[in-house]
């Protein structure tokens, strides 16, 4: 695979990861009341909320890491 194409795909994947994490942060407050309606999950609601926010943070962190790696590498892609 062409190194330039691979670099662009990694950048796109990083942006998708970061945007998914941001979207998850906005979606959590809408979903948590519906999850709270399920009796078996009522006691674990704080843990479930923590897990969702942790997942969002991991997605954003991974996306930002890929984006930063792309721009740090810049045009220093080694020739094939």
Delimit the domains of the chain by residue range: 21-73
* 23-80 residue pLDDT tens: 999 999 999 999 999 999 889 999 999 999 999 999 999 999 999 999 887 655 555 5
- Per-residue HEC secondary structure of 19-79 comes to HHHHHHHHHHHHHHHHHHCCHHHCCCHHHHHHHHHHHHHHHHHHHHHHHHHHHHHCCCCCC
pLDDT beyond 70 at 13: yes
Residue 31: the pLDDT is: 94
Axis-axis angle for helices 3-36, 45-73 (nearest 10): 170
Contact 17, 62 (CB under 8 A): yes
């Amino acid at each position: 695979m062409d190194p330039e194409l691979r670099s662009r795909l990694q950048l796109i994947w990083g942006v998708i990861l970061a945007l998914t994490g941001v979207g998850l942060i906005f979606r959590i407050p809408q979903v948590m009341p519906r999850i709270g309606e399920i009796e078996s999950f009522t006691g674990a609601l704080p843990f479930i909320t923590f897990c969702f926010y942790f997942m969002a943070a991991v997605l954003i962190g991974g996306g930002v890491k890929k984006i930063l790696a792309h721009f740090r590498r810049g045009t220093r892609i080694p020739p094939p």
